[in-house]
Structure 1
Amino acid sequence: MELDTLFITALIIGFSGAMMPGPLLTATVNESYHKGASAGPRIILGHSILELLLIIGLIMGLGSFLVLSSVKITISIVGGLFLLWMGIGIIKDAGFSKVKLELAAVGSNKSLQPEAIGVLTSISNPYWTIWWATIGLGYVTMAWEQGIIGLIVFYLGHISADFIWYTGVSFGIASGKEMLSDNIYRIILLICGVFLVGLSLYFIYLGVKPLGIF
C-alpha cells in the first residue's frame, strides 16, 4: 500500500472508530462540559501516547514475527473479517437510527487530568483491545513493509482522526452548541460503514491472494 493511501485509509478508518459512541466519547463530553474545549484534545493526547507505545511495543516484540508470510495471511484474513463485521454493524445501526450523538453530561472526574482519563478510558475499553489485536495489527503489518516511515504515516493518519473529531465535539460542548444533528451524524457513520466494508474486502483479498484462490 502506498504511503498516501495508507494515510488516507488510516484517517477514514480512524474516524469510523472515533465517532462510535463509547467510553472515550462519553468522557470527552463530560470533561468538556466541566473543563472547557481543551479537554477533548488533552484526552486524545493521552490516548494517542498510549497507542504510540502500543505500536512501538508491537514492532519491538513482533517485528520479525510480522514479516512471516503465514502471519501476514492470518492477520489480513482475521482483521478483514472483523472489519467486515464492524462495517456491517455500523451500517445497520446508522440505517435503523440506533445511534445518537448523546450530549448529556454527568459529573467530571476532578481527581484526574484529561490526559490520564484518555489513557485509562482506552485501556479499560475491551473494544479498543480487540481493534488493535485485529484491524490495528493488520495495519501495523502493512505499514511495517514501508519501514519506519510507513508506521509514522499510519500513526499520524490514525490519530489525526481522533484529534479532529474529539476536538470538534469538545468545542461544541464547551460553546453550548450541537455541531451535528443526529441525522448528519448517522449519514457520516453510514459512509464510514460502507468504506469499512470495502476495506475489509481488500484486507481479505490480501490474505487469500498468496493462497492462489484468486
Structure 2
Amino acid sequence: MLTLEISRALLLGFTIGLTGALVPGPMLFATIEVSLKRGWLAGPEVVLGHILVELVLSIIILFGAASFVGSGTISAISFIGGLALMIFGLLTIKDAKAAASSRASPDASGLKLTSNPITLGLITSVSNPYFWVWWLTAGSALVLKARELGILISVAYILGHWTADLSWFTAVSGSFSRGKALLSQKTHRYILYACGIFLIIFGFYFMLNYNSPAQLF
C-alpha cells in the first residue's frame, strides 16, 4: 500500500511539475542561451540551481509550516491551492499560442549577469513572480496535503516534481545544443492546451477532496 502511494505521489509530482516546466519563462530562455555555448549539461545545471531554491522552500513547508498549522488551516490552504491550479490551467490555455511562439525569440535580457548555469537557475527562479505565486498557493497546498499521509509521500511528490524539471530542461538543452528546437510551435501549443485542461480538472478534483488526502495521492 505504501509503495502504491509513493508511486502515485511520484507520478502526480512529475505530471504537475511538467505542466509548469513546459510553460516558457526566464529559466527556459536561460537554458536555451547557455546550452548553445555549453552543450546539453546546461539543462541539468540550470535545474540544479532551481532545485536548490525549491529544496529550501520544501524544508520550510515540511518542517516549519506543517508543524505550526492545524488540519483546518491546511484544508483551507488546499482549497485555495485547488482554485489556484484551476486558474493556472485557464491561463496556460489562454496564453498557449503566445507561449509556444515565444521560444523563437527568447528575451535573455538580464540573464547575462552570470554565465554560471547553476546561478542562472537560482536567479531565474527567485526573480520569477509566477514561481512565488505557485509556491504560496498550489505548491505549498500539495506538499502539505501529501504530508498528512507521511513524510515519504511528500518527498516522493517533490522528487517527481524535480524529475519533470530535470527531464524537460535536459531535453531542451540537448536539442538546442545541436541547433534544433525540441518541439514545433504547433506541437508545443497543443501540449500546453492539454496541460491547461489537466490543471483545471485536477484543480477542481483537489478542491472537492481537500479534506481527503488519500483521495489525492
TM-score normalised by the chain length of structure 1: 0.88
**Post-superposition CA distance 1:42-84 (Å, at most 9, x none):** 0001111221121112222212234x22212211111111110
**Equivalent position of 1:148 in the other structure:** 151
| SS in structure 1 at match of 2:180 | coil
Query: Is structure 2 residue 68 aligned with structure 1 residue 69?
Result: no
Query: Is structure 2 residue 206 aligned with structure 1 residue 203?
Result: yes
**Post-superposition CA distance 1:99-137 (Å, at most 9, x none):** 225144658737441111111110111110110011111
**Equivalent position of 1:49 in the other structure:** 52
Take 2:82 and 2:91, find their aligned partners in 1: how far apart are those partners? 14
Query: Is structure 2 residue 154 aligned with structure 1 residue 128?
Result: no
Take 1:63 and 1:74, find their aligned partners in 2: how far apart are those partners? 13
**Equivalent position of 2:22 in the other structure:** 19
Aligned pair partner of 1:86 in 85, 88, 106? 88
1:146–1:69 CA distance, 2 compared to 1 (3 A):
closer
| SS in structure 1 at match of 2:99 | coil
Task: Select between 191-200 and 57-66 the one with higher mean Cα deviation.
Answer: 57-66
Take 1:99 and 1:180, find their aligned partners in 2: how far apart are those partners? 13
Take 2:164 and 2:144, find their aligned partners in 1: how far apart are those partners? 20
Task: Select between 2-11 and 153-162 the one with higher mean Cα deviation.
Answer: 2-11
Query: Match for 2:79: what amino acid?
Result: I
After superposition, residues 101-120 of structure 1 pair within 5 angstroms as 101=101, 102-104=103-105, 109=112, 111-120=114-123
**Identity level (%):** 37
CA contact (8 A) 1:29 1:103 kept: no
TM-score normalised by the chain length of structure 2: 0.87
Gaps of 5+ in 1: 210-214
Aligned pair partner of 2:37 in 34, 57, 80? 34
Query: Match for 1:84: what amino acid?
Result: M
CA RMSD of aligned residues (A): 2.0
